[in-house]
Amino acid sequence: MRVRLFTLVLLAGCTGEVLGSFDAARGSELDAASLADGAIVSASDAAAPKTDASRAEPDTGARPQLDGSSIPGDAALHEPDADVPQPDAGRGGDAGTLPGPDLWITAYIAGWNLNVPPNAAYGTMPGTAVDYSAFTHGILFALGVESDGTLCCIADWDTFAPDRIRSTISGGHAVHRPILFSIGGAGNTEFATAIATPGTRTTLVGEVVNVLSTYGFDGVDLDMEPIGLGDEAHYQRFVEELVPALAAKTTPLLPRPLLTAACGSGNAAMFASLAGSFDQINLMTYDMSGAWGGWVTWHNSPLFDGGYRFPSTNGPVPSANRMVDEMIAAGVPARKIGIGLDLYGYVWKGGAGTATGGVTAPRQEWTNAPTVESNVSYADILANYYQASRYHWDSQAEAAYLSIDDPSNANDRFVSYDDETTAQKKVDYVRTKGIGGMILWELGGAYLPSAPAGKRDPLLQAVRTAAGL
């Protein structure tokens, strides 16, 4: 049984008719059944967007076991090595350096959260509120891929409403920031169907190039979830056909469009073979935990495992560093790899049998399982859970959390989220590890509409300061 912690309902047809809507959609789904068997699931392991996985088949796959046998250890940070392959001259050289920093900060902007009148006047974040100077690249998320290779949908009042496209591109270009568009996302299983046959694959390539050229985007982001082992050959062919089609184009800012990917680490060998085709290969290093059998309370997006191992299996708990090491070990150039900062968190609730009764901290075992509310926005966490007395920093995992220990077990809470300290630590990690940069999923989650002007995007501004933008 697959437990969908969040659902992406795609817009069907290309007539602009809205058949569904995004329900707190992000970049991933977790497979509870596989995890109960002792597996680490990737943020890109969604069958139906934002981590640590090897897939044996398109639906769930055989992922690295919790005994750690199939993935490298969570070793000390790699210093940048002189022999680490650098971005090739044909692709990647300008992705991490435009407009000048030593790392990329690529921010996702979910269309459904972007409020742009007159024909996209809904969403929590006004289009005029986005500080495009606080990141290096922006990605408008997302167009769905239909099984026939067409993209859906660009229409008024849709996620990809023309008003949103114009607002995002003009805002980014005004400060010389490239703006890409994303295709796919969790739940878009038609993506795999579209690239499986030559005819529909060719159609999809043409659709991508047409959207890019028509609206003036600076590149495209591929978010295919999952990429089963049976899909890898099709994915590779799609990329091999897309790259020359993009290379024949220019963009308003760049001599050629950028190509990026959002992924887990389960397809590390494939991405190593395709690394020369991508400017950024961004790991969705979040959604790393859940209340499954054999598990413990754990962080949503930790940098390190801190040496902690599952009591049930003695396997290491997930971490961003483990995912990065897996990609590097497979041959992906370090400077092509990005990690994720999550602007959404997880709220663990209740349960019983922990040292505090219910769940209140990481690394707790339970006798009665807690519940987990996934993808709670940073804004909601600040409004509904944050108090200074509840705040803790896990120095071993390098992750923030809130601990609420109530007299009633049912009211106990463990809230895992990324904050301003996390932002600094992750930027420091990118530089020390010698990787390429960081993605932010996604800006609407950390927008505070009721805060005073100038203080409505504190997490984004923390990233900007840490990155030196």
CA distance 61 to 84: 30
Spatial CA neighbour of 142 closest among 4, 10, 240: 10
Percent of the chain surpassing pLDDT 90: 77
DSSP state of 436: -
Overall number of domains in the chain: 1
The arithmetic mean of pLDDT across residues 417-443, rounded, is 98
Question: Residue 185: which pLDDT band, with cuts at 50, 70 and 90?
Answer: very high
State residue 265's pLDDT score.
76
State residue 91's pLDDT score.
52
The arithmetic mean of pLDDT across residues 10-37, rounded, is 32
Over residues 307-350, the pLDDT tens digits come to 999 999 999 999 999 999 999 999 999 999 999 999 999 999 99
Percent of the chain surpassing pLDDT 70: 79
Show the tokens assigned to 147: 């099984």
Question: Residue 184: which pLDDT band, with cuts at 50, 70 and 90?
Answer: very high
Output 437 or 69, whichever has higher pLDDT: 437
State residue 10's pLDDT score.
29
Amino acid 59 reads D
Helix (H) or strand (E) holding 114: strand 114-115
State residue 9's pLDDT score.
29
State residue 195's pLDDT score.
98
Domain that holds residue 275: 7-65+88-340+440-467
With respect to residue 305, please indicate whether it lies within any of the assigned structural domains.
Answer: yes
Over residues 55-102, the pLDDT tens digits come to 222 232 322 223 333 333 333 333 333 332 233 334 544 443 344 579
**Peptide bond preceding 101 in cis form (omega within 30 of 0):** no
The arithmetic mean of pLDDT across residues 290-304, rounded, is 97
CATH number for the domain spanning 143: value is: 3.20.20.80
Q: Are the C-beta atoms of residues 288 and 51 closer than 8 Å to each other? A: yes
With respect to residue 395, please indicate whether it lies within any of the assigned structural domains.
Answer: no
What residues form DSSP beta bridges with 441? Answer: 342
With respect to residue 73, please indicate whether it lies within any of the assigned structural domains.
Answer: no
pLDDT exceeds 80 at position 253:
yes
Hey, how many other C-beta atoms are within 10 angstroms of the C-beta on 86? 12
State residue 264's pLDDT score.
86
With respect to residue 258, please indicate whether it lies within any of the assigned structural domains.
Answer: yes
Question: Residue 163: which pLDDT band, with cuts at 50, 70 and 90?
Answer: very high
With respect to residue 418, please indicate whether it lies within any of the assigned structural domains.
Answer: no
The arithmetic mean of pLDDT across residues 249-253, rounded, is 97
The arithmetic mean of pLDDT across residues 1-5, rounded, is 27
Q: Where are the beta strands (DSSP E) in 328-464?
A: 337-342, 344-349, 371-377, 391-394, 399-404, 413-417, 437-441
State residue 28's pLDDT score.
40
Q: What is the dihedral of CA 334, 336, 341, 344, to 10 degrees?
A: -130
Place of tokens 């400017």: 279
Show the tokens assigned to 414: 């463990």
Mean pLDDT, rounded, of the chain: 83
> What's the whole-model pTM score?
0.82
Over residues 356-410, the pLDDT tens digits come to 999 999 999 999 999 999 999 999 999 999 999 999 999 999 999 999 999 999 9
CA distance 282 to 438: 7
With respect to residue 158, please indicate whether it lies within any of the assigned structural domains.
Answer: yes
Show the tokens assigned to 237: 């062919």
With respect to residue 386, please indicate whether it lies within any of the assigned structural domains.
Answer: no
Identify the weakest region by mean pLDDT among 97-111, 282-296, 407-421.
97-111
Spatial CA neighbour of 326 closest among 40, 32, 38: 40
Hey, how many other C-beta atoms are within 10 angstroms of the C-beta on 365? 16
Q: Are the C-beta atoms of residues 58 and 69 closer than 8 Å to each other? A: no
With respect to residue 377, please indicate whether it lies within any of the assigned structural domains.
Answer: no
pLDDT exceeds 70 at position 287:
yes
State residue 101's pLDDT score.
76
The arithmetic mean of pLDDT across residues 244-260, rounded, is 97
